[in-house]
Amino acid sequence: MRSEKHYCPSRVVLGMKISRVLLGEGILLFASILIFRSVWTLLDQYLGYSYLVELLLVGIAFTVAGLLLLNNEVECEMKEMRK
């Protein structure tokens, strides 16, 4: 009997998937910085500095709503995984 080394393509495929995910996340991070900076500049241009408190409160409200939504979705996924 001859000894054969088994090639496991699943590890290679997994590595490629992880690299694509990391590349995609890097691109999204860079794009989000550009978008954030553009929105910030537009808000300064059109609203000036007179609405800073109101914009802060709206931003806090959106942040809380987004975190609640994400937390709910993660809890649902965790419950599904336990079943």
4-35 pLDDT tens trace: 565 556 766 777 788 888 898 999 999 999 99
Residue 35 Cα distances to 4, 12, 31, 32, 39, angstroms: 53, 34, 6, 5, 6
CA 49 – CA 40 distance, rounded (Å): 11
Whole-model pTM over 0.75: no
Q: What is the pLDDT of residues 49-64, one digit of tens each?
A: 888 888 889 999 999 9
